[in-house]
Amino acid sequence: MMNKMQENISKLTSDLQSIYEDLEQERVRTNLILGAISEGVFMLDRKFCIQEGYSSNLKDLLNHPDLAGREFFSLLENRIPEDNIRSTQEYLEFLFRDDLDEETLNELNPLSKIEFHYEDQSGLWLSSRFLSFIFKRVIQDNKIVSIICTVKDISSEEDLTRKLEESERYNKKQIEWLVNILHVKPILLQEFVKVVEDELKEIDDALKNPIDFGGYNSVLNIIVRAVHRIKRNAAILDLNFIKDQAVRFKDELDQIQKKKEVSGSDFVPIVVRLGDIRMMMQEIHTLMSRVKHFKNSLRTTRKYEDGLITSTISELIEELCIETKKKVNFKYEDFNSEEIPFQHQQIVKEFLIILTKFTILHSIETPEQRRAANHNPEATIELETFNDDINFGFKFRHDGRLIRIERMLQKVIDARDAAIDEEDPIDEKSQLGSEVLQLFFTPTSNPMHIGDVNDTDGILQDMQMVKKKLTLHGGRSKITFTSEEYCEYTITLPKK
């Protein structure tokens, strides 16, 4: 009997040893498998604690040395937003409910893609990864006993997706810009780019030497005028993406101008915005070089493309007439753009733009006002060029507010206590012209008080700047008018 019992015990021991060896081998195989898995794998019980037998990679993904028995939600604290933690807790509670469909719940998984932050010893975020948590029910005897979760680092995929999206946005922007600039004549676009670059250089000079330019307020005014000119020129060419950028820039400048005192720190956002405009101009250069149309057409020549300036002024007149509800007949049959010396092309265009804008906004009346004064409801603007062996010049003539000009002139004369001496040998018309020219091209300290002429959008400051450029080019200006016929500006420039 005793021997039989010993045999049974020996057999049982042998069987247990065999089972133990099998279990140990299974455990080793399981550990090898879990160690070889690149993803994080773990089980959650009903208390949402991580069970034994998780993959070794999970420690690295969740940045914790010992995960067995740890509550899952505690590992998420300070790593993801609190709202996501609460949503995850609710989602996992739903997964343990037999009456809810698993596939439907999976669509609610708040951790399917989440940025997971990693801290240092002081609790500060050092880095982050994008992780994807996938949860599946473990069912035994038709009951949900646990949840298995796989965690994958999807940072590289997310980075690739982000780069693809950025590339898509960039390509879309490039196409929009390309479509926007294709309607602009190549030489006009080339000239516009040069003008913008000159404006940016002027701003840079002022920012580098604010004291030399009269302090921060003066520098700010220089920037405001430069941005306004960029916006105006972009609007003339229908370069909407540049105009919109300039409008946003102008809005920021307006906020700074409202401050009682302007300091150096106020220019930080200005520098950032200037960087954006420079990047924009670099991309325009890239587009111009890639498009064969521009590459073959952008050329330096002394022969200015016929009709270039007149088409620009015509577009400006049309735009301003729509804005002001005025009517203007534009005549330019006697304006020959080919006669303009190459070195004077830009200043001629600047003068014409400023004169056109000032005339329509402040000199030409509405059709109703002109009818009331027994004038043609449609005003007239005329351009004419002239030249000889030494000089080139152009005339800008309009028939708006003729009597108004005399009244404005009289106010200036009265304010300065200047009376015209009839016996003076100086020609009276030239003297009057000189006074009006000062009124239009040299803003007084308070131009807002001269009638209802407002310093809209810095027109008078632009006039002053262009007059300085005219002086640098060795040019001169004159104004002639009569109260019944016209007002005429004459600009003369040396050919050499």
Give per-residue pLDDT as tens, 215-250. 888 888 888 888 888 887 887 777 888 888 888 888
CA 59 – CA 436 distance, rounded (Å): 83
Residues 221, 323, single domain; the answer is no
Q: Is the pLDDT assigned to residue 186 strictly greater than 70? A: yes
Residues 364, 280, single domain; the answer is no
* pLDDT, position 199: 87
Q: Is the pLDDT assigned to residue 326 strictly greater than 70? A: yes
* pLDDT, position 430: 43
Q: What is the 3-class SS of the chain, one letter each residue?
A: CHHHHHHHHHHHHHHHHHHHHHHHHHHHHHHHHHHHCCCEEEEECCCCEECCCCCCHHHHHHCCCCCCCCECHHHCCCCCCHHHHHHHHHHHHHHCCCCCCHHHHHCCCCCCCEEEEEECCCCCEEEEEEEEEEEEEEEECCEEEEEEEEEEECHHHHHHHHHHHHHHHHHHHHHHHHHHHHCCCHHHHHHHHHHHHHHHHHHHHHHHCCCCCCCHHHHHHHHHHHHHHHHHHHHHCCCHHHHHHHHHHHHHHHHHHCCCCCCHHHHHHHHHHHHHHHHHHHHHHHHHHHCHHHHHHCCCCCCCCCCHHHHHHHHHHHHHHHHHCCCEEEEEEECCHHHCCHHHHHHHHHHHHHHHHHHHHHHCCCHHHHHHCCCCCCEEEEEEEEECCCEEEEEEEECCCHHHHHHHHHHHHHHCCCCCCCCCCCCHHHHHHHHHHHHHHCCCCCHHHCCCCCCHHHHHHHHHHHHHHHHHCCCEEEEEECCCCCEEEEEEEECC
144: domain range?
A: 30-156
CA 424 – CA 420 distance, rounded (Å): 8
* pLDDT, position 15: 58
* pLDDT, position 171: 82
pLDDT tens, position by position, 10-41:
665 665 566 655 555 555 555 544 444 557 88
Residues 485, 360, single domain; the answer is yes
Mean pLDDT calculated for residue range 192-218 = 86
* pLDDT, position 386: 92
Residues 94, 140, single domain; the answer is yes
Other Cβ atoms closer than 10 A to 108: 12
CA 154 – CA 59 distance, rounded (Å): 16
Give 476 or 1, the one with higher predicted confidence.
476
What total of structural domains would you count in the chain?
3
Q: Is residue 325 part of a domain?
A: yes
Confidence band of 6 (pLDDT split at 50, 70, 90): low
* pLDDT, position 12: 59
Please give the mean pLDDT across all residues of the chain.
78
Indicate the range of 210-214, 376-380, 408-412, 462-466 predicted with least confidence.
408-412
270, 297, 324 — which closes off a domain?
297
* pLDDT, position 259: 84
Q: Is residue 274 part of a domain?
A: yes
| Residue 241: C-alpha distances to residues 176, 284, 392 (Å) | 9, 11, 36
Mean pLDDT calculated for residue range 317-322 = 86
Pair type for strands 379-387 and 328-334 = parallel
Confidence band of 297 (pLDDT split at 50, 70, 90): low
Residue 483's domain is classified under what CATH number?
Answer: 3.30.565.10
Q: Nearest CA to 458 among 126, 164, 225? A: 225
Q: Is the pLDDT assigned to residue 135 strictly greater than 90? A: yes
* pLDDT, position 394: 93
Q: Is residue 4 part of a domain?
A: no
Q: Is residue 24 part of a domain?
A: no
Residues 388, 463, single domain; the answer is yes
Residues 195, 273, single domain; the answer is yes
pLDDT tens, position by position, 108-117:
899 999 999 9
In contact, 326 and 360? CB cutoff 8 Å:
yes
Q: Is the pLDDT assigned to residue 319 strictly greater than 70? A: yes
Mean pLDDT calculated for residue range 88-107 = 91
Q: Is residue 165 part of a domain?
A: no
Residue 242's domain is classified under what CATH number?
Answer: 1.20.120
91, 125, 156 — which closes off a domain?
156
Residues 450, 315, single domain; the answer is yes
Instruction: Note the pTM of the prediction, 2 decimals.
Output: 0.49
Residue 104's domain is classified under what CATH number?
Answer: 3.30.450.20
Give 208 or 294, the one with higher predicted confidence.
208
pLDDT tens, position by position, 147-183:
999 999 888 888 888 888 888 888 888 888 877 777 7
pLDDT tens, position by position, 367-377:
998 888 888 99
* pLDDT, position 19: 62
Residues 346, 439, single domain; the answer is yes
CA 481 – CA 397 distance, rounded (Å): 9
Q: Is the pLDDT assigned to residue 426 strictly greater than 50? A: no
* pLDDT, position 4: 63
Q: Is residue 104 part of a domain?
A: yes
* pLDDT, position 29: 52
Kindly state the tokens that stand for 83. Answer: 């709202």
